[in-house]
């Protein structure tokens, strides 16, 4: 991109210099010509007898010649000025064409998205659910479930374009997300996959918007927890308003949790915040960790927290890092396929998302502390109000 801008500015600079040379030179030419012009001297040779008289000199060199000369001059002017001007406009024209292509690609991607993906990921990629048939290891029917299909209008906040392409190439094994490109046995060509990613890029939300959604997820969860057993509608509304207000008015979420009586101390509030973030349901779970690290979480039948699902078991994960800073860094940036992370772990798929562009520092610290405290004894306490969760308990 910088090379393009540089090239176009160099071209513009040269164009301007040439244009000025032409304009100034033209002025000098006219000036010199007018000064040089002298009245005609001498006489004309008479016509040869075999030649029929043509226009007289007076006629030939009169208005007729002037007319032709003027036209030639105008044309010369058009060429002399038009070419540099065209040349000047060219980089702009090319830039506009590229922008137009971006728009065209994104709109093709939107059409593809609406026909192929919106059914699960929602219109505008705001997240949705996917119907899925759970099977036992031997392939027999277990039950029908609704699997959270994460919001994708934030997917480029946590993944690079290449990583999104990886998902579209390979799908997510043992989930409703199938491979779409010809690489993984789907039907879409490279151009279509790129158009889809262009579309996701054109609708990506800001970090600020992501933070708002994350906080809404926290508020919803805390409200639910405080409302357990409360049946009176007015009372429930009061609780909900109070939680919303406290989170909006308090600078830090841990403080809000203490104010609301959900946690008693600074450290317990941090672990609580970590747990809430780990299981954040906002935007179809796209900000959570549990959807990849807790089996069954995505279809409301959570097993043990951090026992591993698409992502690995986390019960001793913190030990794979030198210290909490290194772990927090990993959560912030994710990992790159083939490279080493932590002490000596190798990144296999690159599918661990980067959370740094979606979480605040406080949230990142809280999740880090929560992961460090995770072990097989801890268990996520699901919302006892949904029948599936009651069944899972």
- The two structure tokens encoding residue 188: 């879409």
CA dist 153 and 176 (Å) reads 19
Q: In the complex with ligand HEC, which residue's Cβ is closer, 167 or 269?
A: 167
Residue count of the chain, please give it.
393
Q: By CB under 6 A, name the one of 153, 194, 223, 298 that touches ligand HEC.
A: 298
Q: In the complex with ligand HEC, which residue's Cβ is closer, 247 or 315?
A: 315
- The two structure tokens encoding residue 250: 């308090």
- Tell which positions 163-222 bind ligand HEC, by CB under 6 A: 164, 167-168, 172, 175-177, 180, 196
Q: How far is the CB of 310 from ligand HEC (least distance, A)?
A: 5
- Tell which positions 299-328 bind ligand HEC, by CB under 6 A: 310-312, 314, 317, 320
Q: How far is the CB of 274 from ligand HEC (least distance, A)?
A: 8
Calculate ∠ Cα 188-189-194, nearest 5°: 95
- Tell which positions 277-296 bind ligand HEC, by CB under 6 A: 286, 289, 291-293
Q: How far is the CB of 187 from ligand HEC (least distance, A)?
A: 10
Q: In the complex with ligand HEC, which residue's Cβ is closer, 84 or 311?
A: 311
Q: How far is the CB of 154 from ligand HEC (least distance, A)?
A: 8
Q: In the complex with ligand HEC, which residue's Cβ is closer, 2 or 344?
A: 344
Q: Computed over its alpha carbons, how large is the radius of gyration of the chain?
A: 36
Q: By CB under 6 A, name the one of 106, 126, 145, 152 that touches ligand HEC.
A: 152
Q: In the complex with ligand HEC, which residue's Cβ is closer, 147 or 247?
A: 147
Our finding on whether 379 is near ligand HEC (CB under 6 A) is no
- The two structure tokens encoding residue 313: 């078991």
CA dist 5 and 92 (Å) reads 10
| 321 neighbors 313 (Cβ within 8 angstroms) | no
Q: How far is the CB of 330 from ligand HEC (least distance, A)?
A: 6
Our finding on whether 239 is near ligand HEC (CB under 6 A) is no
Task: Using alpha carbons, list the distances in angstroms from residue 225 to 56, 222, 373.
Answer: 108, 5, 22
Our finding on whether 119 is near ligand HEC (CB under 6 A) is yes
Task: Using alpha carbons, list the distances in angstroms from residue 356 to 136, 314, 378.
Answer: 37, 19, 26
Q: Which residue has the tokens 């929602």?
A: 122
- Classify residue 272 by burial, with Cβ atoms within 10 Å: 0-12, 13-18, 19+: buried
Q: How far is the CB of 323 from ligand HEC (least distance, A)?
A: 13
Residues 341-370, one symbol each (x = binds ligand HEC by CB under 6 A, - = not), give: ----x-xxxxxxx-x-----------x---
- The two structure tokens encoding residue 186: 């789907």
Q: How far is the CB of 311 from ligand HEC (least distance, A)?
A: 3
Q: In the complex with ligand HEC, which residue's Cβ is closer, 90 or 209?
A: 209
Q: Which of 154, 175, 185, 179 is nearest to 165 (CA)?
A: 179
Calculate ∠ Cα 384-385-389, nearest 5°: 55
CA dist 390 and 280 (Å) reads 19
Provide the binding-site residues for ligand HEC, judged by CB under 6 A: 116-117, 119-121, 130, 147, 149-150, 152, 155, 164, 167-168, 172, 175-177, 180, 196, 286, 289, 291-293, 298, 310-312, 314, 317, 320, 331, 335, 345, 347-353, 355, 367, 371
């Amino acid at each position: 991109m910088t090379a393009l801008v540089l090239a176009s500015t160099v071209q513009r600079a040269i164009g301007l210099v040439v244009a000025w040379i032409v304009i100034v030179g033209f002025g000098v030419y006219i000036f010199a010509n007018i000064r040089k012009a002298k009245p005609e001297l001498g006489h004309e040779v008479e016509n040869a007898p075999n030649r029929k008289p043509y226009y007289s000199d007076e006629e030939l060199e009169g208005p007729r010649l002037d007319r032709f000369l003027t036209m030639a001059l105008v044309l010369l002017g058009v060429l002399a000025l038009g070419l540099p001007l065209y040349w000047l406009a060219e980089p702009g024209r090319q830039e506009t064409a590229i922008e137009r292509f971006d728009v065209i690609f994104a709109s093709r991607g939107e059409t593809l998205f609406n026909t192929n993906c919106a059914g699960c990921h929602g219109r505008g990629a705001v997240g949705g659910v996917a119907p899925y048939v759970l099977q036992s290891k031997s392939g027999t029917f277990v039950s029908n479930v609704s699997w959270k299909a994460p919001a994708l209008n934030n997917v480029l906040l946590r993944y690079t374009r290449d990583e999104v392409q990886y998902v579209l190439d390979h799908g997510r094994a043992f989930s409703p997300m199938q491979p779409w490109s010809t690489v993984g046995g789907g039907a879409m060509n490279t151009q279509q996959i790129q158009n889809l990613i262009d579309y996701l890029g054109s609708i990506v939300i800001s970090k600020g918007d992501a933070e708002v959604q994350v906080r809404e997820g926290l508020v919803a969860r805390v409200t639910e927890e405080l409302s357990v057993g409360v049946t009176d509608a007015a009372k429930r509304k009061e609780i909900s308003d109070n939680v919303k207000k406290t989170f909006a008015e308090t600078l830090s979420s841990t403080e809000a949790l203490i104010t609301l009586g959900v946690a008693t101390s600074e450290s317990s509030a941090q672990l609580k915040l970590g747990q809430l973030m780990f299981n954040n349901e906002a935007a179809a779970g796209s900000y959570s960790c549990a959807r990849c690290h807790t089996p069954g979480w995505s279809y409301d039948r959570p097993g043990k927290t951090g026992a591993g699902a698409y992502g690995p078991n986390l019960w001793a994960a913190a030990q794979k890092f030198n210290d909490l800073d290194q772990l927090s860094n990993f959560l912030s940036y994710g990992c790159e396929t083939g490279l080493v992370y932590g002490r000596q772990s190798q990144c296999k798929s690159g599918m661990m998302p980067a959370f740094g562009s979606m979480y605040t520092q406080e949230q990142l610290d809280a999740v880090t502390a929560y992961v460090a405290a995770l072990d097989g004894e801890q268990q996520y306490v699901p919302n006892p109000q949904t029948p599936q969760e009651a069944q899972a308990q």
